[in-house]
Amino acid sequence: RILSIDYGGKRTGLAVTDPEQIIATGLTTVKTQELFTFLKKYCAAEPVEMFLIGDPRNWDLSDTHATPLVKECITRLKKEFPQIPVVTLDERMTSKMAKQALLDMGLKKKDRRKKELVDEVAATILLQEYLMSR
């Protein structure tokens, strides 16, 4: 499985592939402070071959306010899971695409405002883009 991470200051969206790495599915959204506890439990229960994490960039490819946070997360991932490679992927537009996907699915406005759902869908879109690019 590949586990995708849409890392945020407060919440982190997660998505995962099936064992054959064909389909990306939303997994959950966790409080960022609980991310590594969740990942340790998940990786103990399911084989994870790779972490895919969104690389936040501005349109001119400069760092965003979130870039240093993601870099810290990557460092910690490599330290706590040294056997699992970490790959980054440009995440520009994933949140907007997630919001549009929720709208296209016909979700009510109240449900589309749930940032947890947007984060999970953004992680899923990131993972699907990676799968399609291989």
pLDDT tens, residue by residue, 79-131: 999 999 999 988 766 666 555 655 566 656 665 455 666 778 789 888 988 99
Quick one: pLDDT band at residue 62, thresholds 50, 70, 90? confident
At 63 the pLDDT is 75
Q: What is the pLDDT at residue 132?
A: 86
Answer with the residue of higher pLDDT: 57 or 75: 75
Q: How many CB atoms lie within 10 A of CB 97?
A: 18
What pLDDT was estimated at residue 56? 82
- In this prediction, residues 41-70 reach a mean pLDDT of 88
Which range among 18-32, 46-60, 96-110, 114-128 shows the weakest confidence by mean pLDDT?
Answer: 96-110
What does the chain look like in DSSP terms, one character per residue? -EEEEE--SSEEEEEEE-TTS--EEEEEEEEGGGHHHHHHHHHHHS---EEEEEE-B-TTS-B-TTHHHHHHHHHHHHHH-TTS-EEEEE-TTHHHHHHHHHHHTT--HHHHT-HHHHHHHHHHHHHHHHHHH-
Question: Quick one: 77 exposed, middle or buried, by C-beta within 10 A (0-12, 13-18, 19+)?
Answer: buried
Give 47: exposed, middle or buried? Use CB within 10 Å, 0-12, 13-18, 19+.
exposed
29/39 Cα distance (integer angstroms)? 12
